[in-house]
Structure 1
Protein backbone atom coordinates (compact mmCIF):
# COMPACT_ATOMS: atom_id res chain seq x y z
CA UNK A 1 0.00 0.00 0.00
CA UNK A 2 1.33 3.44 -0.97
CA UNK A 3 1.96 5.77 1.95
CA UNK A 4 0.11 9.13 1.73
CA UNK A 5 3.35 11.13 1.66
CA UNK A 6 4.51 9.16 -1.44
CA UNK A 7 1.64 10.49 -3.57
CA UNK A 8 2.91 14.11 -3.94
CA UNK A 9 6.39 12.83 -4.83
CA UNK A 10 4.96 10.50 -7.46
CA UNK A 11 2.81 13.28 -8.91
CA UNK A 12 5.83 15.60 -9.00
CA UNK A 13 7.86 12.97 -10.86
CA UNK A 14 5.04 12.52 -13.38
CA UNK A 15 4.79 16.27 -13.93
CA UNK A 16 8.55 16.49 -14.44
CA UNK A 17 8.51 13.70 -17.02
CA UNK A 18 5.62 15.36 -18.85
CA UNK A 19 7.42 18.72 -18.75
CA UNK A 20 10.58 17.24 -20.20
CA UNK A 21 8.55 15.46 -22.88
CA UNK A 22 6.85 18.76 -23.68
CA UNK A 23 10.23 20.44 -24.20
CA UNK A 24 11.26 17.57 -26.49
CA UNK A 25 8.13 18.02 -28.60
CA UNK A 26 8.72 21.76 -29.04
CA UNK A 27 12.41 21.19 -29.82
CA UNK A 28 11.65 18.45 -32.39
CA UNK A 29 9.05 20.54 -34.18
CA UNK A 30 11.35 23.58 -34.14
CA UNK A 31 14.08 21.53 -35.83
CA UNK A 32 11.63 20.59 -38.60
CA UNK A 33 10.87 24.25 -39.32
CA UNK A 34 7.80 25.02 -37.22
CA UNK A 35 7.97 28.48 -35.64
CA UNK A 36 5.24 27.78 -33.09
CA UNK A 37 3.62 24.72 -31.53
CA UNK A 38 -0.01 25.15 -30.59
CA UNK A 39 -1.57 24.35 -27.23
CA UNK A 40 -3.82 21.79 -28.89
CA UNK A 41 -0.89 20.03 -30.55
CA UNK A 42 0.98 19.77 -27.26
CA UNK A 43 -2.09 18.40 -25.49
CA UNK A 44 -2.61 15.80 -28.21
CA UNK A 45 1.06 14.77 -28.23
CA UNK A 46 1.10 14.40 -24.44
CA UNK A 47 -2.30 12.74 -24.30
CA UNK A 48 -3.55 15.23 -21.72
CA UNK A 49 -5.78 18.29 -21.44
CA UNK A 50 -4.98 21.84 -22.51
CA UNK A 51 -5.29 23.00 -18.91
CA UNK A 52 -2.62 20.50 -17.87
CA UNK A 53 -0.33 21.74 -20.64
CA UNK A 54 -0.83 25.33 -19.46
CA UNK A 55 0.06 24.26 -15.92
CA UNK A 56 3.20 22.48 -17.14
CA UNK A 57 4.34 25.35 -19.34
CA UNK A 58 3.84 28.12 -16.77
CA UNK A 59 7.16 27.63 -14.90
CA UNK A 60 8.97 27.04 -18.19
CA UNK A 61 7.73 30.36 -19.54
CA UNK A 62 8.74 32.07 -16.29
CA UNK A 63 12.29 30.71 -16.58
CA UNK A 64 12.42 31.39 -20.35
CA UNK A 65 12.81 27.76 -21.32
CA UNK A 66 9.67 28.32 -23.40
CA UNK A 67 8.28 31.48 -24.96
CA UNK A 68 4.65 32.26 -25.88
CA UNK A 69 4.23 33.30 -29.50
CA UNK A 70 1.85 35.82 -31.02
CA UNK A 71 -0.53 33.03 -32.11
CA UNK A 72 -0.73 31.72 -28.49
CA UNK A 73 1.58 28.82 -29.27
CA UNK A 74 4.98 27.97 -27.84
CA UNK A 75 8.58 27.99 -29.01
CA UNK A 76 11.90 27.51 -27.25
CA UNK A 77 13.08 30.46 -25.19
CA UNK A 78 16.48 31.98 -24.54
CA UNK A 79 16.86 29.86 -21.41
CA UNK A 80 16.89 26.69 -23.52
CA UNK A 81 19.54 28.21 -25.77
CA UNK A 82 21.73 29.11 -22.80
CA UNK A 83 21.43 25.58 -21.39
CA UNK A 84 22.37 24.08 -24.73
CA UNK A 85 25.24 26.49 -25.18
CA UNK A 86 26.63 25.64 -21.75
CA UNK A 87 26.47 21.95 -22.55
CA UNK A 88 28.18 22.33 -25.93
CA UNK A 89 30.93 24.53 -24.57
CA UNK A 90 31.65 21.92 -21.92
CA UNK A 91 32.27 19.12 -24.42
CA UNK A 92 35.94 18.13 -24.52
CA UNK A 93 37.28 17.61 -28.05
CA UNK A 94 39.66 14.83 -27.07
CA UNK A 95 37.02 12.92 -25.10
CA UNK A 96 34.43 13.30 -27.87
CA UNK A 97 36.84 12.07 -30.56
CA UNK A 98 38.39 9.17 -28.63
CA UNK A 99 35.87 6.40 -29.47
CA UNK A 100 35.90 7.34 -33.16
CA UNK A 101 39.70 7.28 -33.28
CA UNK A 102 39.80 3.85 -31.64
CA UNK A 103 37.20 2.48 -34.03
CA UNK A 104 39.02 3.81 -37.09
CA UNK A 105 42.41 2.50 -35.94
CA UNK A 106 40.91 -0.96 -35.40
CA UNK A 107 39.12 -0.98 -38.75
CA UNK A 108 42.03 0.29 -40.86
CA UNK A 109 45.09 -0.98 -38.97
CA UNK A 110 46.55 2.51 -39.36
CA UNK A 111 47.55 5.12 -36.81
CA UNK A 112 44.91 7.74 -35.98
CA UNK A 113 45.74 11.24 -34.85
CA UNK A 114 43.71 14.15 -33.51
CA UNK A 115 45.28 17.58 -33.90
CA UNK A 116 44.35 21.17 -33.11
CA UNK A 117 45.61 24.34 -34.81
CA UNK A 118 47.98 26.71 -33.05
CA UNK A 119 48.94 29.65 -35.21
CA UNK A 120 50.33 28.15 -38.43
CA UNK A 121 51.20 24.86 -36.73
CA UNK A 122 49.26 21.78 -35.72
CA UNK A 123 49.62 20.16 -32.30
CA UNK A 124 48.93 16.47 -31.68
CA UNK A 125 46.43 16.06 -28.85
CA UNK A 126 45.65 12.35 -29.24
CA UNK A 127 47.05 9.29 -30.99
CA UNK A 128 45.63 5.77 -31.28
CA UNK A 129 47.53 2.73 -32.48
CA UNK A 130 46.45 -0.90 -32.56
CA UNK A 131 48.56 -3.98 -31.87
CA UNK A 132 49.25 -4.51 -35.56
CA UNK A 133 49.94 -0.85 -36.31
CA UNK A 134 53.44 0.11 -37.33
CA UNK A 135 54.76 2.40 -34.60
CA UNK A 136 55.20 6.01 -35.70
CA UNK A 137 57.41 8.74 -34.24
CA UNK A 138 54.56 11.18 -33.57
CA UNK A 139 53.83 11.96 -29.93
CA UNK A 140 51.03 13.77 -28.14
CA UNK A 141 52.19 17.35 -27.73
CA UNK A 142 54.32 17.32 -30.88
CA UNK A 143 54.08 20.39 -33.09
CA UNK A 144 54.44 20.49 -36.89
CA UNK A 145 53.97 23.19 -39.54
CA UNK A 146 50.59 23.03 -41.26
CA UNK A 147 52.43 23.34 -44.55
CA UNK A 148 53.83 19.81 -44.38
CA UNK A 149 50.81 17.86 -43.13
CA UNK A 150 47.50 16.49 -44.36
CA UNK A 151 45.81 17.84 -41.22
CA UNK A 152 47.25 21.27 -41.90
CA UNK A 153 45.85 21.26 -45.43
CA UNK A 154 42.42 20.22 -44.13
CA UNK A 155 42.41 22.98 -41.51
CA UNK A 156 43.54 25.62 -44.01
CA UNK A 157 41.04 24.48 -46.65
CA UNK A 158 38.02 24.67 -44.36
CA UNK A 159 39.13 27.15 -41.72
CA UNK A 160 39.70 30.88 -41.46
CA UNK A 161 40.13 32.35 -44.97
CA UNK A 162 43.11 34.40 -43.73
CA UNK A 163 44.95 31.29 -42.60
CA UNK A 164 46.17 30.35 -46.09
CA UNK A 165 48.10 33.58 -46.47
CA UNK A 166 49.63 33.25 -43.00
CA UNK A 167 50.77 29.68 -43.72
CA UNK A 168 52.30 30.64 -47.05
CA UNK A 169 54.13 33.54 -45.38
CA UNK A 170 56.08 31.08 -43.22
CA UNK A 171 59.41 29.69 -44.45
CA UNK A 172 59.09 26.18 -45.86
CA UNK A 173 61.74 23.48 -45.58
CA UNK A 174 61.90 20.43 -47.81
CA UNK A 175 61.76 17.53 -45.36
CA UNK A 176 61.59 14.93 -48.13
CA UNK A 177 61.86 14.93 -51.91
CA UNK A 178 58.03 15.05 -52.00
CA UNK A 179 57.59 18.18 -49.83
CA UNK A 180 55.62 20.82 -51.75
CA UNK A 181 57.73 23.98 -51.58
CA UNK A 182 56.09 25.84 -54.48
CA UNK A 183 53.39 28.25 -53.23
CA UNK A 184 51.23 28.01 -56.36
CA UNK A 185 51.24 24.23 -56.24
CA UNK A 186 50.42 24.26 -52.51
CA UNK A 187 47.48 26.63 -53.07
CA UNK A 188 46.25 24.22 -55.73
CA UNK A 189 46.54 21.34 -53.26
CA UNK A 190 44.46 23.28 -50.72
CA UNK A 191 41.80 23.84 -53.42
CA UNK A 192 41.78 20.11 -54.17
CA UNK A 193 41.46 19.39 -50.45
CA UNK A 194 38.42 21.65 -50.28
CA UNK A 195 36.87 19.92 -53.27
CA UNK A 196 37.28 16.33 -52.11
CA UNK A 197 36.86 16.95 -48.37
CA UNK A 198 40.21 15.64 -47.14
CA UNK A 199 43.87 16.60 -47.27
CA UNK A 200 46.72 14.31 -48.31
CA UNK A 201 50.31 14.14 -47.12
CA UNK A 202 51.96 11.96 -49.74
CA UNK A 203 55.32 11.32 -48.05
CA UNK A 204 55.85 15.09 -47.66
CA UNK A 205 56.62 15.10 -43.95
CA UNK A 206 58.33 11.72 -43.57
CA UNK A 207 59.86 9.73 -46.46
CA UNK A 208 57.74 6.59 -46.19
CA UNK A 209 54.57 7.87 -44.51
CA UNK A 210 51.27 8.61 -46.25
CA UNK A 211 48.48 10.41 -44.41
CA UNK A 212 44.88 11.52 -45.02
CA UNK A 213 43.02 14.04 -42.83
CA UNK A 214 39.65 15.79 -42.59
CA UNK A 215 38.53 18.82 -40.55
CA UNK A 216 36.61 18.65 -37.27
CA UNK A 217 34.01 21.35 -36.54
CA UNK A 218 32.51 22.53 -33.26
CA UNK A 219 28.98 23.64 -32.35
CA UNK A 220 29.56 26.99 -34.12
CA UNK A 221 30.55 25.09 -37.30
CA UNK A 222 34.09 26.43 -37.04
CA UNK A 223 37.17 24.26 -37.61
CA UNK A 224 38.70 23.31 -34.26
CA UNK A 225 41.00 20.53 -35.43
CA UNK A 226 41.43 17.57 -37.73
CA UNK A 227 41.55 13.79 -37.50
CA UNK A 228 43.84 11.72 -39.67
CA UNK A 229 45.02 8.22 -40.50
CA UNK A 230 48.67 7.55 -41.23
CA UNK A 231 50.79 4.59 -42.17
CA UNK A 232 53.71 3.28 -44.15
CA UNK A 233 53.21 3.94 -47.85
CA UNK A 234 53.55 0.19 -48.44
CA UNK A 235 50.55 -0.45 -46.17
CA UNK A 236 48.66 2.67 -47.26
CA UNK A 237 49.04 2.67 -51.06
CA UNK A 238 48.00 5.61 -53.22
CA UNK A 239 45.24 3.45 -54.72
CA UNK A 240 43.57 3.23 -51.31
CA UNK A 241 43.57 6.97 -50.63
CA UNK A 242 40.16 7.73 -52.16
CA UNK A 243 38.30 5.02 -50.27
CA UNK A 244 40.05 5.65 -46.96
CA UNK A 245 39.76 9.39 -47.45
CA UNK A 246 35.98 9.13 -47.73
CA UNK A 247 35.96 7.16 -44.47
CA UNK A 248 38.08 9.78 -42.73
CA UNK A 249 35.70 12.52 -43.87
CA UNK A 250 32.74 10.63 -42.46
CA UNK A 251 34.50 9.95 -39.16
CA UNK A 252 35.49 13.60 -38.83
CA UNK A 253 31.85 14.52 -39.45
CA UNK A 254 30.74 12.10 -36.74
CA UNK A 255 33.16 13.72 -34.29
CA UNK A 256 31.86 17.12 -35.36
CA UNK A 257 28.27 16.03 -34.72
CA UNK A 258 29.33 14.88 -31.25
CA UNK A 259 30.63 18.42 -30.73
CA UNK A 260 27.29 19.88 -31.87
CA UNK A 261 28.01 20.84 -35.49
CA UNK A 262 24.77 21.32 -37.44
CA UNK A 263 26.54 21.48 -40.82
CA UNK A 264 28.22 18.11 -40.17
CA UNK A 265 24.83 16.67 -39.18
CA UNK A 266 23.37 17.81 -42.51
CA UNK A 267 26.36 16.41 -44.42
CA UNK A 268 25.98 13.03 -42.74
CA UNK A 269 22.25 13.02 -43.46
CA UNK A 270 22.87 13.74 -47.15
CA UNK A 271 25.37 10.91 -47.50
CA UNK A 272 23.49 8.33 -45.39
CA UNK A 273 22.46 5.24 -47.40
CA UNK A 274 18.77 4.91 -48.14
CA UNK A 275 16.77 2.14 -46.47
CA UNK A 276 16.51 0.29 -49.76
CA UNK A 277 20.27 0.31 -50.12
CA UNK A 278 20.91 -1.11 -46.66
Structure 2
Protein backbone atom coordinates (compact mmCIF):
# COMPACT_ATOMS: atom_id res chain seq x y z
CA UNK A 1 0.00 0.00 0.00
CA UNK A 2 2.75 2.57 0.85
CA UNK A 3 4.40 1.90 -2.54
CA UNK A 4 1.10 2.51 -4.33
CA UNK A 5 0.64 5.78 -2.44
CA UNK A 6 4.17 6.87 -3.33
CA UNK A 7 3.54 6.04 -6.98
CA UNK A 8 0.33 8.06 -6.97
CA UNK A 9 2.10 10.99 -5.32
CA UNK A 10 4.86 10.84 -7.92
CA UNK A 11 2.35 10.89 -10.77
CA UNK A 12 0.59 13.87 -9.20
CA UNK A 13 3.88 15.71 -8.73
CA UNK A 14 4.76 15.09 -12.37
CA UNK A 15 1.34 16.38 -13.39
CA UNK A 16 2.00 19.54 -11.38
CA UNK A 17 5.40 19.96 -13.02
CA UNK A 18 3.96 19.43 -16.50
CA UNK A 19 1.17 21.94 -15.92
CA UNK A 20 3.68 24.58 -14.82
CA UNK A 21 5.83 23.76 -17.87
CA UNK A 22 2.90 24.52 -20.15
CA UNK A 23 2.26 27.93 -18.57
CA UNK A 24 4.01 31.22 -17.94
CA UNK A 25 3.54 30.80 -14.22
CA UNK A 26 0.65 29.68 -12.02
CA UNK A 27 -0.38 30.64 -8.51
CA UNK A 28 -1.16 27.93 -5.99
CA UNK A 29 -4.90 28.40 -6.56
CA UNK A 30 -4.55 28.28 -10.35
CA UNK A 31 -2.31 25.22 -10.16
CA UNK A 32 -4.70 23.39 -7.85
CA UNK A 33 -7.60 24.08 -10.22
CA UNK A 34 -5.53 23.02 -13.24
CA UNK A 35 -4.62 19.60 -11.83
CA UNK A 36 -7.87 19.04 -9.92
CA UNK A 37 -6.33 18.76 -6.45
CA UNK A 38 -6.71 20.69 -3.23
CA UNK A 39 -4.34 23.55 -2.50
CA UNK A 40 -2.91 21.75 0.51
CA UNK A 41 -2.13 18.68 -1.61
CA UNK A 42 -0.51 20.76 -4.34
CA UNK A 43 1.53 22.66 -1.76
CA UNK A 44 2.78 19.38 -0.32
CA UNK A 45 3.69 18.08 -3.77
CA UNK A 46 5.59 21.22 -4.75
CA UNK A 47 7.89 21.23 -1.70
CA UNK A 48 10.31 18.54 -2.97
CA UNK A 49 10.09 19.98 -6.50
CA UNK A 50 11.21 23.37 -5.19
CA UNK A 51 13.93 21.73 -3.09
CA UNK A 52 15.21 19.95 -6.21
CA UNK A 53 15.05 23.29 -8.10
CA UNK A 54 12.67 21.80 -10.62
CA UNK A 55 10.19 24.50 -9.57
CA UNK A 56 10.69 27.95 -8.13
CA UNK A 57 8.15 30.25 -6.54
CA UNK A 58 8.06 33.98 -7.10
CA UNK A 59 8.30 35.65 -3.70
CA UNK A 60 6.24 38.63 -4.83
CA UNK A 61 3.38 36.96 -6.73
CA UNK A 62 3.54 33.44 -5.34
CA UNK A 63 3.48 32.04 -8.88
CA UNK A 64 5.26 28.80 -9.66
CA UNK A 65 7.65 28.59 -12.60
CA UNK A 66 10.16 26.03 -13.82
CA UNK A 67 13.40 26.12 -11.86
CA UNK A 68 17.05 25.95 -12.91
CA UNK A 69 17.09 22.24 -12.21
CA UNK A 70 15.01 21.60 -15.31
CA UNK A 71 17.61 23.42 -17.41
CA UNK A 72 20.37 21.25 -15.97
CA UNK A 73 18.36 18.12 -16.77
CA UNK A 74 17.75 19.35 -20.30
CA UNK A 75 21.41 20.15 -20.86
CA UNK A 76 22.43 16.74 -19.55
CA UNK A 77 19.94 15.10 -21.90
CA UNK A 78 21.15 17.08 -24.92
CA UNK A 79 24.81 16.45 -24.10
CA UNK A 80 24.16 12.74 -24.21
CA UNK A 81 22.48 12.76 -27.60
CA UNK A 82 24.17 11.21 -30.60
CA UNK A 83 22.67 12.48 -33.86
CA UNK A 84 23.15 9.20 -35.70
CA UNK A 85 21.43 7.28 -32.92
CA UNK A 86 18.62 9.82 -32.67
CA UNK A 87 18.01 9.76 -36.43
CA UNK A 88 18.42 6.00 -36.93
CA UNK A 89 14.78 5.10 -36.36
CA UNK A 90 13.55 7.74 -38.79
CA UNK A 91 16.17 6.81 -41.41
CA UNK A 92 15.22 3.14 -41.35
CA UNK A 93 11.52 4.01 -41.38
CA UNK A 94 11.98 6.12 -44.51
CA UNK A 95 13.93 3.37 -46.29
CA UNK A 96 11.22 0.85 -45.44
CA UNK A 97 8.51 3.19 -46.74
CA UNK A 98 10.10 4.54 -49.91
CA UNK A 99 12.66 1.83 -50.80
CA UNK A 100 15.34 4.39 -51.61
CA UNK A 101 18.63 5.49 -49.98
CA UNK A 102 18.51 7.82 -46.98
CA UNK A 103 21.44 10.09 -46.07
CA UNK A 104 22.13 11.99 -42.86
CA UNK A 105 24.60 14.89 -42.93
CA UNK A 106 25.94 17.54 -40.57
CA UNK A 107 27.01 21.04 -41.48
CA UNK A 108 30.75 21.70 -41.37
CA UNK A 109 31.31 25.01 -43.18
CA UNK A 110 31.50 25.30 -46.09
CA UNK A 111 30.40 21.70 -46.72
CA UNK A 112 28.09 18.99 -45.53
CA UNK A 113 29.60 15.79 -44.17
CA UNK A 114 27.81 12.47 -44.60
CA UNK A 115 27.60 10.75 -41.22
CA UNK A 116 25.09 8.00 -41.98
CA UNK A 117 23.64 6.17 -44.95
CA UNK A 118 20.85 3.59 -45.02
CA UNK A 119 20.35 1.80 -48.32
CA UNK A 120 17.67 -0.33 -49.86
CA UNK A 121 19.67 -3.43 -50.71
CA UNK A 122 17.60 -4.19 -53.81
CA UNK A 123 18.45 -0.93 -55.56
CA UNK A 124 21.59 0.35 -57.25
CA UNK A 125 24.04 1.57 -54.62
CA UNK A 126 24.63 5.32 -54.29
CA UNK A 127 28.21 6.53 -54.73
CA UNK A 128 28.15 8.53 -51.48
CA UNK A 129 30.37 7.43 -48.58
CA UNK A 130 30.13 8.05 -44.86
CA UNK A 131 32.74 10.65 -43.96
CA UNK A 132 32.78 12.23 -47.42
CA UNK A 133 32.01 15.91 -47.99
CA UNK A 134 29.44 17.45 -50.29
CA UNK A 135 28.67 20.96 -51.57
CA UNK A 136 25.89 23.07 -50.10
CA UNK A 137 24.56 24.51 -53.37
CA UNK A 138 24.04 21.37 -55.46
CA UNK A 139 22.87 18.72 -52.97
CA UNK A 140 19.42 18.43 -51.41
CA UNK A 141 20.92 18.10 -47.92
CA UNK A 142 23.13 21.11 -48.57
CA UNK A 143 20.29 23.30 -49.79
CA UNK A 144 18.12 22.17 -46.89
CA UNK A 145 20.75 23.59 -44.54
CA UNK A 146 21.70 26.61 -46.64
CA UNK A 147 18.08 27.80 -46.77
CA UNK A 148 18.19 28.51 -43.03
CA UNK A 149 21.66 30.02 -42.86
CA UNK A 150 22.28 33.79 -43.07
CA UNK A 151 21.61 35.11 -46.55
CA UNK A 152 25.20 36.24 -47.07
CA UNK A 153 26.40 32.64 -46.72
CA UNK A 154 25.71 32.26 -50.45
CA UNK A 155 28.23 35.01 -51.20
CA UNK A 156 31.07 32.98 -49.70
CA UNK A 157 30.37 29.78 -51.63
CA UNK A 158 32.14 28.44 -54.68
CA UNK A 159 29.16 27.58 -56.87
CA UNK A 160 30.95 24.94 -58.88
CA UNK A 161 29.07 23.43 -61.81
CA UNK A 162 28.61 19.72 -61.02
CA UNK A 163 26.19 18.91 -63.86
CA UNK A 164 24.44 20.89 -66.58
CA UNK A 165 21.53 21.42 -64.15
CA UNK A 166 23.58 22.85 -61.26
CA UNK A 167 22.41 26.26 -60.08
CA UNK A 168 25.58 28.34 -60.21
CA UNK A 169 24.06 31.83 -60.29
CA UNK A 170 23.72 33.39 -56.78
CA UNK A 171 20.44 35.13 -57.60
CA UNK A 172 18.85 31.93 -58.90
CA UNK A 173 20.14 30.03 -55.88
CA UNK A 174 18.58 32.54 -53.50
CA UNK A 175 15.26 32.17 -55.32
CA UNK A 176 15.54 28.40 -54.97
CA UNK A 177 16.33 28.70 -51.25
CA UNK A 178 13.24 30.86 -50.75
CA UNK A 179 11.20 28.04 -52.29
CA UNK A 180 12.84 25.56 -49.92
CA UNK A 181 11.79 27.65 -46.93
CA UNK A 182 8.21 27.92 -48.19
CA UNK A 183 7.65 24.23 -48.80
CA UNK A 184 9.88 22.87 -46.01
CA UNK A 185 12.03 20.60 -48.14
CA UNK A 186 14.73 20.90 -50.81
CA UNK A 187 15.25 19.17 -54.14
CA UNK A 188 18.42 18.20 -55.96
CA UNK A 189 17.07 17.69 -59.46
CA UNK A 190 20.10 15.97 -61.03
CA UNK A 191 22.22 18.94 -59.94
CA UNK A 192 25.01 17.02 -58.20
CA UNK A 193 24.95 13.73 -60.14
CA UNK A 194 23.44 13.51 -63.66
CA UNK A 195 21.03 10.63 -63.00
CA UNK A 196 20.18 11.17 -59.32
CA UNK A 197 17.36 13.08 -57.66
CA UNK A 198 17.31 13.80 -53.93
CA UNK A 199 14.79 15.35 -51.58
CA UNK A 200 16.04 16.78 -48.27
CA UNK A 201 14.90 18.59 -45.14
CA UNK A 202 16.66 20.49 -42.35
CA UNK A 203 17.23 19.34 -38.76
CA UNK A 204 17.32 21.94 -35.97
CA UNK A 205 18.85 21.69 -32.51
CA UNK A 206 17.46 22.94 -29.20
CA UNK A 207 18.54 26.52 -29.94
CA UNK A 208 16.66 26.56 -33.24
CA UNK A 209 19.87 26.43 -35.26
CA UNK A 210 20.03 24.27 -38.37
CA UNK A 211 22.76 21.68 -37.75
CA UNK A 212 22.01 18.76 -40.04
CA UNK A 213 19.78 17.43 -42.78
CA UNK A 214 18.27 14.18 -43.96
CA UNK A 215 17.47 13.17 -47.53
CA UNK A 216 15.97 10.52 -49.76
CA UNK A 217 18.07 9.76 -52.85
CA UNK A 218 17.59 7.58 -55.91
CA UNK A 219 17.91 7.33 -59.64
CA UNK A 220 15.80 9.88 -61.50
CA UNK A 221 14.03 7.03 -63.29
CA UNK A 222 12.54 6.00 -59.95
CA UNK A 223 12.31 9.36 -58.20
CA UNK A 224 10.33 11.18 -60.86
CA UNK A 225 9.31 14.82 -60.64
CA UNK A 226 5.82 13.69 -59.59
CA UNK A 227 7.22 11.44 -56.87
CA UNK A 228 9.26 14.32 -55.46
CA UNK A 229 6.00 15.96 -54.39
CA UNK A 230 5.12 12.79 -52.49
CA UNK A 231 8.53 12.30 -50.87
CA UNK A 232 9.04 15.95 -49.86
CA UNK A 233 6.46 16.03 -47.05
CA UNK A 234 7.64 12.60 -45.87
CA UNK A 235 11.26 13.63 -45.45
CA UNK A 236 10.20 16.95 -43.91
CA UNK A 237 8.08 15.11 -41.33
CA UNK A 238 10.98 12.78 -40.50
CA UNK A 239 13.34 15.76 -40.09
CA UNK A 240 10.81 17.46 -37.83
CA UNK A 241 10.61 14.40 -35.59
CA UNK A 242 14.40 14.22 -35.36
CA UNK A 243 14.52 17.94 -34.52
CA UNK A 244 11.98 17.32 -31.77
CA UNK A 245 14.20 14.65 -30.23
CA UNK A 246 17.08 17.15 -30.26
CA UNK A 247 14.93 19.68 -28.44
CA UNK A 248 14.28 21.74 -31.55
CA UNK A 249 11.36 22.20 -33.88
CA UNK A 250 10.72 22.53 -37.58
CA UNK A 251 10.39 26.00 -39.13
> Scaled by the length of structure 2, what TM-score is found?
0.88
Alignment match, 1:63: 52
- Check conservation: 1:18, 1:46, Cα contact below 8 A: no
Deviation at 1:38, TM superposition (A): 1.7
Cα gap change, 1:51 to 1:196, in 2 (>3 Å): closer
Alignment match, 1:95: 85
Counterpart among 204, 210, 213 of residue 223 in structure 1: 210
Return the alpha-carbon distance in structure 2 between the equivalents of residues 162 and 16 of structure 1.
Answer: 55
Alignment match, 1:28: 19
Going by fraction, where is helix more abundant, 1 or 2? 1
Within 5 Å, give how 1:234-253 maps onto structure 2.
234-253=221-240
Return the alpha-carbon distance in structure 1 between the equivalents of residues 31 and 151 of structure 2.
Answer: 45
- Check conservation: 1:26, 1:74, Cα contact below 8 A: no
**Long gaps (5+) in structure 1:** 1-6, 268-278
Alignment match, 1:126: 116
**Long gaps (5+) in structure 2:** none
RMSD over aligned Cα atoms:
2.4
Deviation at 1:159, TM superposition (A): 2.7
Return the alpha-carbon distance in structure 1 between the equivalents of residues 193 and 30 of structure 2.
Answer: 65
Paired residue secondary structure (1:176): coil
Within 5 Å, give how 1:201-212 maps onto structure 2.
201-212=188-199
Cα gap change, 1:46 to 1:127, in 2 (>3 Å): same
Cα gap change, 1:52 to 1:187, in 2 (>3 Å): closer
Alignment match, 2:145: 155
Alignment match, 2:43: 54
- Check conservation: 2:202, 2:210, Cα contact below 8 A: yes
Alignment match, 1:199: 186
- Check conservation: 2:147, 2:180, Cα contact below 8 A: yes
Counterpart among 55, 65, 72 of residue 62 in structure 2: 72
Cα gap change, 1:89 to 1:20, in 2 (>3 Å): farther
> Scaled by the length of structure 1, what TM-score is found?
0.80
CA-to-aligned-CA distance 1:30-75 (integer Å, 9 cap, x gap): 32x352142574488375x644543432232233211113343422
Alignment match, 1:273: none
- Check conservation: 1:110, 1:134, Cα contact below 8 A: no
Paired residue secondary structure (1:91): coil
The count of corresponding residues between Structure 1 and Structure 2 is: 250
Deviation at 1:21, TM superposition (A): 3.4
